[in-house]
Amino acid sequence: CFGILQTFPECGFYGIYDKILLFKHDTSTNNILQLVKGASDIQEGDLVEVVLSAAATFEDFQIRPHALNVHSYRAPAFCDHCGEMLFGLVRQGLKCDGCGLNYHKRCAFSIPNNCSGARKRRLSTTSLSSSQSLHLPASPPRTPSDARRFYTGRPVHLDKILMSKVKVPHTFAVHSYTRPTVCQYCKRLLRGLFRQGLQCKDCKFNCHKRCAVYIPLMRVVQSVRQTTRRSSTAIKEGWMVHYSNKDTLRKRHYWRLDCKCIILFQNNTSNKYYKEIPLSEILEVRPAGNFTLVPPGTNPHCFELITGTMCYFVGEDPNTLPSLPPTPNSGIGREVAKAWESAIRQALMPVIFQDAPPAAGNTPHRQASISISVSNSQIQENVDIGTVYQIFADEVLGSGQFGVVYGGKHRKTGRDVAVKVIDKLRFPTKQESQLRNEVAILQSLRHLGIVNLECMFETPEKVFVVMEKLHGDMLEMILSSEKGRLPERLTKFLITQILAALRHLHFKNIVHCDLKPENVLLASADPFPQVKLCDFGFARIIGEKSFRRSVVGTPAYLAPEVLLNQGYNRSLDMWSVGVIMYVSLSGTFPFNEDEDINDQIHNAAFMYPPNPWKQISGDAIDLINNLLQVKMRKRYSVDKSLSHVYLQDYQTWLDLRELETKLGGRYITHESDDSRWQMFAREHTLPYPAHLVPPPPAPASDDEEGGEDADVQGLTERVSIL
């Protein structure tokens, strides 16, 4: 116990000697396990077994109330309970004399009685060995007004009740804060205008997205037992019986259906469950037809659930005893099973049809089964999206004027997807042409830096565009960063990936025309993630020396020639890259809408104020200046930008190579640069990762010389194209 207390003093083990029992294995006695009562009972080489006592059914905590007093703060302070700022000029909040924590007055009743007394311990351990002694003034007698200023935390009996409750992990959701708030884990400010951090839906705990994984309750190792929290959005619940093609014993469980899965609980009060059937794995719901596995001497089932690996035979039709109607809690009966079959079919339907009743004589799925346009240019008639993908109605990834983007899952493979559902009735003809243009362009693109379009379903009322699901976007990364802007290393990493994707687009004479941080998606939550371009609704087919005049894009990121309704070419995307780079490094937009862009560009004091540009390298400013050129012929191209000294950085090259190694393919860097960066590392005595060193080439034979010549010729052609 002493060792544990010394190693983990912050854990506060209380009464641990009553909870843990030590037994020594002694084979010479009738009872092999002998209770260890003292240190003398154990000798070198003894086998000791640690047993948790039956008395340790709940945790004991020392209840230490806070000593709270009204306090006036000279500097901005934040509440240690809710994380919000303490507003006011004087007497803004409460300070504990024991631990020194700060609280709102309104939070006093909610504060747990867990004062650590750290402030008093620090004072008591202060060294007084120096010649100067520490004199503390005598505290004046407490007046009635002082007594009125004294606050206490929540009642002690409430703490005792809360201790006996089971501690569950937080349920975090992205939250937008209207007041300055700090992360309650790292005590740093949640920066940004909106969606600054995460807040627990239950206890209102606030934290950064990056800090969520470090919170103790989020790191609890889950038990091997199958337990789950009951969803608050259940579609249907009740008792039901079933058997399967792998186990013909009919079982009775408490079924609970929500928009994502069917959970078979052991009873209607416990969180322990027998099985979980995700709706995304259900391939078909059909009436009872296969009676070969019906247990002998029992009634037949009512309907069947078909997945990729199992077939569930659900319900029981008591046709042999029609005079005795079954009780609802028995899970038996044709009407009970029919209600469950209808509810499951409704949950499996595409989200747009869940509120509409099925037409007479039609099954719900056939309403959506009109046609499908697949990314491999194949068109199949009468294919229902509900049979291929499960769309989650409660997982809204985004929304716009004409539709909503939902999260979904491919039924056979379990792959996560994003499904854009567009209402044709609210869709103007011009917008419909943009959508078809986006689908046509994405069908022709296969690149690791461009979002992958899987397929498109179309019905008379709706259009479903299915794409790969990614983690977030670049705008969210900028707003959620600690300083409201990105560091230069990360900016170089992201901008190089954007330029690599643009190089592929421009090589195919495709101009994106709407580049902005919202359209740069992140493939993961890694600190240095892979990015992909999306939203090709405004994209145009523009040749190298061609111009277009149609109005496209988002004004804040558009080049002057588009805003002035002049002809534009592929350099339009390069202007947008310059704005994205400016926003990433500074967290602000470069231009004021009320003033002429040309005048603002030539005003360096306006474009690059000392805060924060004094901390940013001059090479970054030089690249931005070459991208934000009003004259299109002076604006940098993709290749010139990639060759700029700012992006030709050794650390950036290493970061990109690590990403390519993880993805298993090179699409940003080229093999011809390896020797150059190896030489650079040797000259500057920098470490070069061993796993990035290419293997030595095998000795070439006479037969292979022709192949090498072909490789050299292909490389020459590629360089000439670039």
The residues annotated with a catalytic role in the active site are 514
Closest CA to 301 of 312, 287, 316, 311: 316
Secondary structure of residue 49 in the 3-state scheme: strand
DSSP-derived pairing of the beta strands 403-410 and 453-458: unpaired
Determine the Cα–Cα distance for residues 460 and 427; give it in Å rounded to an integer. 12
CA distance 82 to 103: 8
Torsion of CA 201, 202, 206, 210, to 10 degrees: -70
- Give 272's strand partners: 227
Question: What is the secondary structure of 291-359 as a DSSP string?
Answer: -TTPPTTS---SEEEEESS-EEEE----TT-TTSPPPGGGT-SHHHHHHHHHHHHHHHS-GGGSSSPPP
Total residues found in the chain within this entry: 722
Task: Count the Cβ atoms, other than its own, within 10 Å of residue 553.
Answer: 21
DSSP designation for 698? P
Asked if residues 637 and 571 have their Cβ atoms less than 8 Å apart, the reply is yes
For 403, phi then psi, to 5°, come to -175, 180
Give, to the nearest 10 degrees, the angle between helix 650-663 and helix 488-507.
60
Which run of H or E residues covers position 495? helix 488-507
Tell the burial category of 147 from Cβ atoms under 10 Å away from its Cβ (0-12, 13-18, 19+). Answer: exposed
Q: What is the DSSP letter of 212?
A: G
Nearest CA to 539 out of 563, 500, 508 is that of 508
Crossing angle (nearest 10°) for helices 674-683 and 650-663 = 130
Residue 483 annotated in ligand binding: no
- Distance CA(25)–CA(63), nearest Å, equals 38
The stretches of 508-648 forming alpha helices (DSSP H) are 560-563, 571-586, 597-601, 604-607, 610-613, 618-627, 638-642
Structure tokens at 668: 């940003």
The Cβ-side half-sphere exposure at 514, using a 13 Å CA radius, reads: 16
The bridge status of strand 282-287 relative to strand 303-307 is antiparallel
Q: Assess contact for 496 and 647: CB atoms under 8 A.
A: yes
Beta strand segments in 424-543, E: 453-458, 462-468, 472-473, 510-511, 520-522, 531-533, 540-541
68-71 and 150-151 strand pairing? antiparallel
- By three-state DSSP, how is residue 682 classified? helix
Establish how many alpha carbons lie within 13 A of residue 9's alpha carbon, considering only the half-sphere containing its beta carbon: 3
| Annotated binding-site members | 420
| Annotated binding-site members for ATP | 420
